[in-house]
Chain A
């Protein structure tokens, strides 16, 4: 048999066969997932971080939805009987009661609301301050950088707890609002340094030069182009800072400088329970566990985010 017949040389190539290859340049078809999706996938692969996130969600639900289901008033006093004060965990009071018969579960929820609120809002304020100061310092450099960063160094060099004790003793009224502001005013320093570093590196990148060539103003360069590229480290820092601020609030409240009665917080619950620790250990245990697990989980989530947001982790 003729070899050309075997090879089917007579049938011409059809248009359909050629057409897919006529495209001007090849596209990278497989990467159609959005960047957010890629990050989420990477985060979900980290079991420990997901565990932390699940616990945090549970905690949020407990503190903010729980009170609608568990309708005991955290401030209602019940001294009607011996069994209603300082009772160990039971069906009526799953976490027990304190010296004046208040339900510990209800107080954990109320205290959690305050502690989480303080942690998160003070983190937001501190991060915003840090971004503003760090962005200006990193973007403009020179004199502005020097002044702002030396100011940051000064704030960092003051012993934080001592300063907070003194200031909160004289300036706060024991309400969550005053404590939030106080913590935020001194919590921005690490964020500012971090943001400055990111800005210093990113402003030299070519796409910033390219944006300049289309006439973008400094403000646009800073907050539309550079800041989103620095979002990863800032988010990680924000997560860790929330944990730090919760601890800070608890410490202040424990020493009686932070949140004061009638507001419950995990910190002043520990302080309350400590005096009768020998009599009833439960009172210290519950808020301590709550703080411990919250901060631990925040840190785990922060670590998970750090890995997920790291642009150099190329595996998809």
Chain B
């Protein structure tokens, strides 16, 4: 303890719905050191964003509930904090950026006022001081003619510019931690790199730790020090970024890496996917949640594997019984994959024939 800025321990966040409880985050533990940049990756609906909202304690009420675990920030459990103290943390100590900059800015307020708002709430600055700080912040996030543009409204900015403004707002009070929830998903490819570079640069400069949530492995590769791979509300693998890309050990991570489309691939080649969809989190399968989609699966996968280091003194953890680097296992998985493909082709053929007959 102590050396970690943020320590999420066995966090469980559930949502009450008619059909039962959705286990959106189910026993997630990870830590972020001061100044460290951590990526959280996974498919849609695997609990990345809910983890972020849980840290900020902004779960949609009354459906969301914290079923267990703790979120230690500077050795202080955020889940126990009274709402008043929590408001000081939000914006003051932890900043957040959302996915869609088009809808995250108040259309009726000038951006100068919106940036100044955090300063006025937390640092109790006067109107003029806040506006002055806003101008320098806008300059820092690379908006030209900042002194003029503070008085503009959000609709006068392009998407990339608005995301820059969002970054300025999130970093206004110089927080210790920045949570970026898919900050580039809604942007053009050409702007994405600029925004990532900006987040990276500014946070390095201020010494801000970053949790970067994304489904884009390219984003994670460029910016982060460490990656956490989430699946169905659980962490399945975590390792330093370079190690994870060079040496993925969980079948799900393998699948994610394989499904990144490549520009140098042969044209019209079939794009690789992970078959199936994430499990229903209302009644998740006991055991490894990835088992139904996993080519490496076997009987032992019916019990959940622990998140263990892959070797002595390693900082690479995986939650999988199988050693995916073993050639024998790979051959077995390949066979299963082919069998599955054949089965699927057969089903497709049959239904095609049926429709032909009906005609």
Contacts and interface: CB of A to CB of B under 8 A. Distances in A.
B109 A217 contact: no
A32 B56 contact: no
Interface stretch (B11-19, B117-125, B315-323): B117-125
Contacts of A205: 103
B63 to A, nearest CB: 12
A215 B161 contact: no
Nearest to B144: A23
A84 B66 CA distance: 84
Interface residues of B, number: 39
A221 to B, nearest CB: 10
Contacts of A5: none
B30 interface: no
A228 B170 CA distance: 22
Contacts of B191: 25
Nearest to B166: A210
A31 B156 CA distance: 6
Residue of A25, A27, A32, A220 with most chain B CB atoms under a 10 A cut-off: A25
Given A213-B90, A214-B91, A231-B108, A28 B103 contact: no
Contact of B106 (A27, A32, A229): A229
Interface in A17-59: 23-28, 31-32, 34-35
Interface in A156-205: 205
B89 A215 contact: yes
A26 B162 CA distance: 12
B231 interface: no
B121 A34 contact: no
Contacts, number: 94
Contacts of A210: 96, 98, 104-105, 166, 169
A206 B121 contact: no
Given A215-B89, A228-B109, A31 B155 contact: yes
A215 B92 contact: yes
Contacts of B92: 215
A213 B105 contact: no
A214 B118 contact: yes
Contact of B117 (A26, A34, A216, A228): A216
B88 A32 contact: no
Contacts of B118: 214-215
Given A206-B104, A229-B108, A213 B96 contact: yes
Interface of A: 23-28, 31-32, 34-35, 142, 205-207, 209-217, 220, 224-225, 228-229, 231
8 contacts: A25-B158, A28-B158, A31-B156, A142-B62, A207-B103, A210-B98, A213-B58, A213-B91
